[in-house]
Amino acid sequence: MAPRTVAGGYVALGDSYSSGAGAGDYLDSGKECKRSSRAFPVLWAEAHAPASFTFAACNGAGADDVLTSQLGHLSPRTGLVTLTVGGSDSGFVSVIAKCALGGSDGCLSAVSRARTTIDGSLSAALDRLYSAIRSRAPAARVVVLGYPHLYHLQGACALGLPDGERATLNDAVDHLNAVIAQRATAHGFTFADVTAAFAGHEICSSRPWLRGVDVLAITESYHPTAPGQSLGYLPVLTRVA
């Protein structure tokens, strides 16, 4: 089947999962944002040749950061918008650290606090952001992509968590994805789930597409590698965009 064409420009918004942190080959124009030439938005644009392509996603961006710093790239001529956001708002980096260092009780407590944030302030922030995206790009197809499970259960790796903590973190990702999907659908956007695409390629699997903890590049820890971008995120986007 021939690739679907995009009438108008393509704007890639969002956080580190869209910018490509962890995938390497960072572009000179976006090194502070860790914008990678191997990120799925770049790969999709190369394959589909939209009228224009703006790579606005930035490492560490939360929903309010996208709202205030990235939406200026949208216009009535925008034909496609993609977005990953919510992980930073949920405090997942600190949650993972707590699960790694704080034992089962500390992990459960950190995840519980993250769920409260997801259901409260994040849900409201997503509504504000999604409303603003639709206002600025009224004709665009908007695809909101979710997050993969971080850990493979019953796999072995250095600095790996026990299966109980791994399952707790994966359940938290499911909850985050569910809230993102609910709010995206309410605004008429398409939600694209990537958990099945990453199945068998989580941290502690035999062929991971996600980076484990890296003390020398801490901002790249728990992010998709180049294969995670090209074999995980890209096919999911291609199916729905």
| The model's pTM | 0.94
Given 16, 19, 90, 221, the catalytic residue: 16
CATH number of the domain enclosing 42: 3.40.50.1110
Rg of the chain over all Cα atoms, to the nearest angstrom? 17
C-alpha separations of 155 from 6, 63, 127, 198 in Å: 41, 33, 37, 15
Task: Report yes or no on 145 lying in a domain.
Answer: yes
pLDDT digits (tens, 9 = 90+) for 35-49: 999 999 999 999 999
Task: Report yes or no on 230 lying in a domain.
Answer: yes
Task: Report yes or no on 144 lying in a domain.
Answer: yes
Task: Report yes or no on 167 lying in a domain.
Answer: no
Q: Specify whether 223 is catalytic.
A: yes
Integer Cα distance of 197 and 161 in angstroms: 22
Residue 191 has pLDDT above 80, yes or no: yes
Residue 1 has pLDDT above 60, yes or no: no
Among 15, 12, 5, 3, smallest CA distance to 223 is for 15
Task: Report yes or no on 109 lying in a domain.
Answer: no
Structural domain harbouring 79: 9-89+121-150+175-240
Mean pLDDT over 142-156 rounds to 92
Computed from CA positions of residues 197, 78, 18, 99, in that sequence, does the dihedral angle turn out positive or negative? negative
Q: What is the pLDDT of residue 158?
A: 66
Count the neighbouring beta carbons within 10 Å of the beta carbon of residue 69.
13
pLDDT digits (tens, 9 = 90+) for 55-98: 999 999 999 999 999 999 999 999 999 999 999 999 888 888 78
Task: Report yes or no on 219 lying in a domain.
Answer: yes
Residue 51 has pLDDT above 70, yes or no: yes
Integer Cα distance of 232 and 158 in angstroms: 23
Integer Cα distance of 70 and 167 in angstroms: 34
Tell me which DSSP letter residue 81 carries. Answer: E
Task: Report yes or no on 4 lying in a domain.
Answer: no
Give residue 159's pLDDT band: very low, low, confident or very high (50, 70, 90): low
Look at the chain and report how many structural domains it folds into.
1
Task: Report yes or no on 126 lying in a domain.
Answer: yes
Give the helix ranges, DSSP H, for the chain. 16-19, 40-48, 63-69, 92-101, 103-117, 123-136, 163-186, 195-198, 226-227, 234-240
Given 73, 149, 201, 223, the catalytic residue: 223
Q: Mean pLDDT of all residues in the chain?
A: 92
CA 208 remoteness from chain centre: 17
Q: What is the pLDDT of residue 230?
A: 99
Q: Specify whether 16 is catalytic.
A: yes
Mean pLDDT over 188-206 rounds to 97
